[in-house]
Amino acid sequence: MSDKSHSETSGERIAKVMARAGLASRREAEAWIADGRVSVNGAVISSPALNVTPSDSILVDGAPLRSRERTRLFLYHKPRGLVTTHSDPQGRDTIFRALPKGLPRLISIGRLDINTEGLLLLTNDGGLARVLELPATGWLRQYRVRALGRVQQDALDRLRGGITIDGIRYGPIEATLDREQGANVWLTVGIREGKNREVRKVLETLRLKVNRLIRVAFGPFELGDLDDGAVREIETEKLRETLGPEIAAAANADFYAPIAEPVDDTIRARARTSAAPQLGARPSSRKRDEEKERPSQKRWEKRERHRRDRTGGPRPSRPRPK
């Protein structure tokens, strides 16, 4: 059966189905398909432009594709100094390398830049990530901000009408002056769009230079007392109730599928190589040597816990109230 004839049937794109099974991202799945590692109903496919249904037989490297995973959501306290990506061409540390072992394959809902810390939502469901990232969802992203300079509340109040900077329109911003501390001010800032470096750019127009940025809430989910580098999963029933039927339907979330075993990282890594070694192959000796040279996650977390804020500002896991 040709790819074209099968793509005319109902169902979902093959890369989406593979990603929803927790095996790889859509981009990685497309790379696997291009490498001839995926077959549908006994025929190797070469294009991701193919719809499949539950009745189709899908094999990846000769092994049956496992069932769809349950929709899951995790709260992560991102430390400063990590980039929100699976791999970084500059070789910087990433959040996904810092995450504890044993988690499913996760993607971030939006991003926090390298110098921003605090709450980052992680999920195994790409559909949920896309829905929650949309400004139309209307969830407030709340930050605690320390910035060098002085500002009056009336100037902050004017941000409620939105602002245009270098031709880019930023929507309404809720900002409150909490207190002054030496040459700095502490603010609480709420945005609903989350454009690139939005908080920093907007406050620069008020002659405020942000030197600490901590996200403390994303919609109904709060950082609370979650420690630096720690991860906490939202229970399925609470997640279903919090999202509500409208968001769940838009994301095509599934709260009743089984929880799958995590996919071995060595299997995922194969999507980024041109060659396709045997399933379950051990990492190369070079990779093992590199892993030995890295500081252990436990030691890294210990250093982070003892990191001190010389300004006397609040710890990121427990921001001071107004």
The catalytic residues are 113
With contact defined as beta carbons under 8 Å apart, do 126 and 168 qualify? no
Distance CA 144, CA 316 (A): 9
Name the CA dihedral angle for 307, 308, 311, 313, rounded to a multiple of 10 degrees.
Answer: 90
Contacts of 228 (CB under 8 A, 6+ apart): 77, 79, 117, 301, 304, 305, 307, 316, 317
Is residue 187 within 8 A of residue 178, CB to CB? The reply is yes
Q: Which of 222, 247, 249 is nearest to 317 (CA)?
A: 222
Give the span between the Cα atoms of 19 and 9, in whole angstroms: 20
Q: Are residues 110 and 208 in contact, defined by beta-carbon separation less than 8 angstroms?
A: no
Radius of gyration of the chain (CA): 22
Return the sign of the alpha-carbon dihedral for residues 244, 250, 254, 259.
negative
